[in-house]
Amino acid sequence: VPRLSDAAASRGDADRVLAAMARGRWAADVASLADVRAEVLLSEVLAYLGGQPRIRDPRLTALTEHDAEHGGILVPAVLAWLDAFGDVRAAARVLNIHPNTVRYRVRRATEVSGVDFDDPAQRILTQLQLRL
């Protein structure tokens, strides 16, 4: 940093980067905030949402509870499918299962929760809340 007064903020950024690297899929030993900005910001958004139970969708809470009681297979499938932008084959590769199994689990998650995955707002809310 150019001035000593900026050192505390720089240390805070370094801590944010290290935390993101520890949580994420970062393979390198060194990174800058620019390298992991998305992971840092997402983790901060999730931390904020974690402290705000009023802004959670009860349908997704019901889905996670149902999933916990029945083997925990729906939520990972939905998250992998959302991460893959609806590409069933890509999600299946990540989960190491058959694409039809992904289709079934996403369909079952829709039945259990009532979430409409054709609605972009519901998709992003689902992705954020299930990451909590």
Question: How would you write the pLDDT of the chain (132 residues) with one tens digit per residue?
Answer: 788 887 888 788 777 787 777 776 666 777 777 778 888 888 888 889 989 999 999 999 999 999 999 999 999 999 999 999 999 999 999 999 999 999 999 999 999 999 999 999 999 999 999 998
State the pLDDT at residue 27. 66
Give Cβ neighbours of residue 97 (< 8 Å, ≥ 6 apart). 77
CB 9 within 8 A of CB 25: no
State the pLDDT at residue 13. 78
Separation of alpha carbons 6 and 126, rounded Å: 38
Backbone angles phi, psi at 3, to 5 degrees: -130, 150
CATH number of 56-131: 1.10.10.2840
Domain boundaries, the chain: 4-52, 56-131
DSSP-H helix ranges across the chain: 7-23, 33-50, 58-69, 74-83, 88-95, 99-113, 120-131
